[in-house]
Amino acid sequence: MRHLLSSADLTRDDVRMLLATAAEMHEVQRRDVKKLPTLRGRTVINLFFEDSTRTRSSFEIAGKWMSADTINITGKGSSTSKGESLRDTVMTIDAMSVDCVVIRHMASGAAHQVAQWVDASVVNAGDGTHEHPTQALLDAYTMEQRLGSLEGRRVAIVGDLTHSRVFRSNAITLRRLGAEVTLVAPPTLMPSGIGPWAAADGLTLTDDLDAVLAAGPDAVMMLRVQKERMSGGFFPTPREYTVGFGLTRERLRALVDANPEAVICHPGPMNRGLEISADAADAAQSLVLDQVSAGVAVRMAVLYHLLAGEEVAA
C-alpha cells in the first residue's frame, strides 16, 4: 500500500489484513498507557477542508498513539483562504518532507489528484460525494465484532445515497467481505445511473424500507440527510422523509421483532428525529459509539501499513 484513495483499490485480502491489524490496535485502546513507538520519526498532516469531529480527531489520536508527529491544518487556517490553489498548498506541505497527508475535501476526486502531486502517502478521509474508505473499514470492523463473519450477512444501507460518500465505500467493502447489500432510498435520493453498478456488483435497490426491515436484515445502516449538499427539493418536508425513510420507534420494534440480533449503525453525525429516532440511536442494538471507538483502531491500522516500513507496505 502506498495510498488509500478508494475502497475499490482494496482486494478482499487487503481488507482482511487491515481489519486483522485493527483488532490488534484496538487492544492498545484498552491499555492504561496508549502508546506505541511504531511511527516514531514519521510526520502525518491532517488536511481538512470540511468540518469533522470523528474522522479528524481519530486520525490525530491514531497518529499520536503510534508516536507520529501529527499536525492538523484546516481549510480556514491554510493559505487557500487567501486564494492559494489546492495544488500549491499540498506541494508546499510535501516540500517539508512529510510522510503522509490525510485529506478531506469537498471536491470528489481531490484525494486522487493530490496523490499525483506529492511524494507523501495520501489517505482519502472523504472527497465530496465520492468515497470515504476508512469509514467503510471501521463500519465493517464494528459489524464483525458483533456479528462475526459478514459472509452471507444481510446489510441494508438507508437514506441519502445521492450525497453519501460513505454508502459508496461501504457497498464496495461489504461486498468484498461477502455481505448481501440492499440500498434503500426515495427515488429522488437514489443516485442517477446506479442501476448498472448495482447489477454488476450484486446490490439490491428498493424504496420500501418497511419491507426490508420485515425481512430481518442483520444490520441496518442509517445515513445522514446531507442538507448542506442539497440545492433542490429532494423531499417535500423533513416530516415526510421521517415517515417514509426514518428509523422510527415503530420501525425499530419491527426490526427487532424480525431479527432480535440485528444491529444499527450510523456513520455520524446524526440528525436525531430525522433519519433516526432517539430510541433507535440509543437502543441496545445501536453500534454508533462502537463505530467511533473502532475508527481509531482502523486508522491506526491504515497508517501502520502505509508508513511502518517497506516490508509491511509491500
How far apart CA 253 and CA 101 sit, in angstroms, is 44
Cα distances (Å, whole numbers) of residue 206 to 35, 44, 130, 179, 268: 46, 41, 21, 17, 23
Is there a binding annotation on residue 163?
no
Annotated binding residue at 87? Answer: no
Per the structure block, which three cell numbers stand in for 47? 488536511
Cβ-contact 213, 255 below 8 angstroms: yes
Say whether 82 counts as a known binding-site residue.
yes
Contact present, 222 and 269 (Cβ < 8 Å): no
The response to whether 26 counts as a known ligand-binding position is: no
Residue 268 has phi, psi (to 5 degrees) of: 75, 160
Amino acid (one-letter) located at 236: P
The residue whose grid cell reads 431479527 is 259
Neighbouring CB atoms inside 10 A of 249's CB total: 13
43 and 278 Cβ atoms separated by less than 8 Å: no
126 is in an annotated binding site: no
51: phi then psi, degrees, rounded to nearest 5: -65, 145
- The DSSP bridge pattern shows strands 263-265 and 219-222 to be parallel
168 is in an annotated binding site: no
Query: Is 182 within any annotated ligand binding site?
Result: no
Q: Is 63 annotated as a binding residue?
A: no
Q: Does 135 belong to an annotated binding site?
A: yes
Answer yes or no: is 251 a known binding residue: no
DSSP bridge partners of 121: 100
Return binding residues for L-aspartate: 82, 165, 224
Return binding residues for carbamoyl phosphate: 54-55, 104, 132, 135, 268-269
Return binding residues: 54-55, 82, 104, 132, 135, 165, 224, 268-269
